[in-house]
Amino acid sequence: MNIFIALIPALGWGIFSLIAGKIKNSHPANELMGLGTGALIIGIITAIIHPTSSNITIFSLSLISGMFCALGQSGQFISMRNIGISKTMPLSTGFQLIGNTLIGAIIFGEWTSSSQYLIGTLALILIIVGVSLTALSKDKSAKLKMRDIILLLFTSIGYWIYSSFPKAITANAQTLFLPQMIGIFIGSIIFLLVSCQTKVLKEKATWLNIFSGFSFGIAAFAYIFSAQLNGVITAFIYSQLCVIISTLGGIFFIGENKTKSELIATFVGLILIIIGAAIQSTTPK
């Protein structure tokens, strides 16, 4: 049962992008608003089932971290439309792993010995090589442009803050969940206002994307329990399997085209990303 719980985040975070990719006439604004709404609904349901207490400071900071998550998610959805799911998700996952690792090492002082720096650096190298392999393309028109990389890198800052926030405060993870989901919803509204796309609130694609929000929210909540049941390291490693689901789903379910050599490079890249994540997670403390 513990392993089943550990696989829920991988499944939820792996398929939410595929759900969005399959919805007709769906654009980043539809997808972000739908995800924010679905995640909020899951947050409310879990708060009813598992009520927790909080104070205004923790609630407010959790809400802000959720808004940063919406920033990260906006970059993913925009990138998915520009370069496809099978390229976006490995890149995004790689940037998240690299950023979270460096934040943990530099800001939170998680690396204190030479062995930690050696193993951690090896993990980062494997992740960088893996990400590079998944981005390979023989078709010049399909090759990654610098603006695509910059967009994902910049918006990944939102994910770094969202992921690192629980380390910065002392609070039960379940206490943070509802305000973070509220923050994602508010961040989605802000995105619509800033981009002048409030019209999507009336579009069918937005409300169909609520199902991707359900997938995201369930995965996020299941991760809390997985970390409690299996330990943070095991929970994290299993959750990273989401990149395999989303990338291969983009190729075989959504129908994104890749040549044989590109497929091989993608498979090898995914393996390196997972190995790098596993090494990074098991770096001796």
For 114-160, write each residue's pLDDT tens digit.
Answer: 888 898 889 889 989 998 898 777 766 566 788 989 999 999 999 99
Average pLDDT, the chain: 88
pLDDT over 90 (residue 104): no
Q: Please report the pLDDT score of residue 38 as a whole number.
A: 97
Q: Which band of pLDDT confidence, cut at 50, 70 and 90, is reported for residue 245?
A: very high
For residue 139, which phi and psi values (nearest 5 degrees)? -75, 115
Q: Please report the pLDDT score of residue 63 as a whole number.
A: 94
Lookup: tokens for 174: 């379940």
CA 26 – CA 261 distance, rounded (Å): 30
Task: With CA atoms as reference, report the closest residue to 245 among 93, 115, 112.
Answer: 93
Q: What is the 3-state secondary structure (H, E, C) of 146-212?
A: HHHHHHHHHHHHHHHHHHHHHHHCCCCHHHHHHHHHHHHHHHHHHHHHHCCCHHHHHCHHHHHCHHH
Lookup: tokens for 119: 């193993």
Task: With CA atoms as reference, report the closest residue to 283 among 117, 100, 106.
Answer: 117
**pLDDT tens, position by position, 184-193:** 999 999 999 9
Residues in the chain: 285
**pLDDT tens, position by position, 199-229:** 999 999 999 999 999 999 999 999 888 887 8
Q: Please report the pLDDT score of residue 36 as a whole number.
A: 97
CB–CB of 157/73 below 8 Å? no
- With tokens 């790098």, the residue in question is 276
CA 114 – CA 100 distance, rounded (Å): 19
